[in-house]
């Protein structure tokens, strides 16, 4: 009788141990669908580190027959890597494109690959991926970024015509890329001797804090090159307070006064 009681106690202890282990078992070992939904929720909350772990688990634990869930998880794993600025981000998304070349997310994957390379200042690789994208498939909210960064990459590649084309498109959109696009366009126009266009663009951004110490010098130099010595002489004192390139402004102001006979 005593032996039966002890045996019963041992079975009960074993049952309780197994039950506790089951209760403590991480959620990550539940069904892939549950993990997939959790990953999407975390992604939408911008919790990219945790989301990436879940997406990775789903990708590793689904079969090829579960194509949509498996492929989409791999895409989002790569996107999370871009958001987190991980070094393997481009690799993951390039591998996604290689494995799923006709997936509906391929255009978006190229955009994220281009972003990743752009952040790393690998502009040639970024441009290669921007060139893979059909701009008609770029989400409206991403168009300004797409045009600006593609324009910048073309400028880095010394293709001014392509750079101007995309920068002009970027300036049409209000937001963070508008003024950046205008500043690069103005600089290109200035270098090419297109002083009227450059002047109009510099005037548009002269009061923007980010450019307020650089633009006045360009404006005064253009006025000087156009022979507007009186304008330069009169404007120089005020612009000297704003400009970071005071030596150049003193130089052209002095020449302007000389040309006006104001010794």
Residue 232 pLDDT class (50, 70, 90 cuts): confident
Query: According to the model, what pLDDT value does residue 260 have?
Result: 79
Q: Count CB neighbours of 75 within 10 A.
A: 24
In what helix (H) or strand (E) does residue 88 lie, and over which residues does it extend? none
Q: Residue 162: is it exposed, middle or buried by C-beta count within 10 angstroms (0-12/13-18/19+)?
A: middle
Q: Cα(105)–Cα(92) distance, rounded to whole angstroms?
A: 13
Tell me: pLDDT of 168 over 60: yes
CA-angle at 232, arms to 228 and 236, nearest 5°: 175
Residue 30 pLDDT class (50, 70, 90 cuts): low
Q: Quick: pLDDT tens for 32-72.
A: 899 999 999 999 999 999 999 999 999 999 998 899 999 99
Q: Quick: pLDDT tens for 192-214.
A: 999 999 999 999 999 899 998 88
Give the end-to-end CA distance of the chain in Å, rounded to a whole number. 122
The two structure tokens encoding residue 31 = 């069904």
In what helix (H) or strand (E) does residue 222 lie, and over which residues does it extend? helix 215-225
Q: b/e string for 227-242 if b means 16 or more Cβ within 10 A?
A: eebeebbebbeebbeb
Q: Quick: pLDDT tens for 90-149.
A: 999 999 999 999 999 999 999 999 999 999 999 999 999 999 999 998 999 999 999 999
């Amino acid at each position: 009788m005593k032996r039966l009681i002890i045996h019963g106690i041992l079975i009960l202890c074993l049952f309780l141990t197994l039950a506790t282990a089951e209760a403590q078992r991480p959620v990550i070992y539940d069904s892939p669908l549950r993990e997939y939904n959790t990953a999407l929720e975390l992604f939408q909350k911008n919790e990219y580190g945790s989301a990436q772990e879940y997406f990775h688990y789903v990708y590793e634990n689904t079969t090829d027959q579960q194509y949509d869930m498996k492929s989409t998880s791999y895409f989002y794993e790569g996107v999370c890597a871009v958001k987190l600025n991980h070094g393997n981000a481009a690799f993951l998304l390039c591998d996604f494109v290689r494995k799923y070349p006709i997936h509906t997310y391929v255009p978006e994957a190229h955009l994220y690959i281009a972003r990743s390379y752009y952040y790393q200042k690998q502009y040639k690789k970024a441009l290669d991926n921007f060139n893979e994208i059909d701009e008609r498939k770029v989400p409206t909210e991403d168009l300004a970024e797409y045009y600006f960064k593609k324009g910048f990459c073309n400028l880095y590649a010394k293709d001014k015509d392509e750079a101007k084309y995309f920068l002009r498109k970027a300036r049409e959109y209000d937001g963070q890329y508008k003024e950046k696009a205008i500043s690069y366009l103005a600089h290109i126009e200035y270098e090419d001797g297109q002083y009227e266009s450059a002047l109009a663009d510099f005037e548009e951004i002269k009061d923007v804090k980010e450019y307020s110490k650089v633009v006045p010098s360009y404006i005064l130099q253009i006025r000087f090159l156009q022979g507007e010595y009186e304008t330069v002489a009169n404007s120089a004192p005020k612009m000297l307070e704003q400009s970071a390139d005071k030596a150049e402004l003193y130089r052209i102001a002095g020449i302007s006064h000389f040309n006006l006979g104001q010794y």
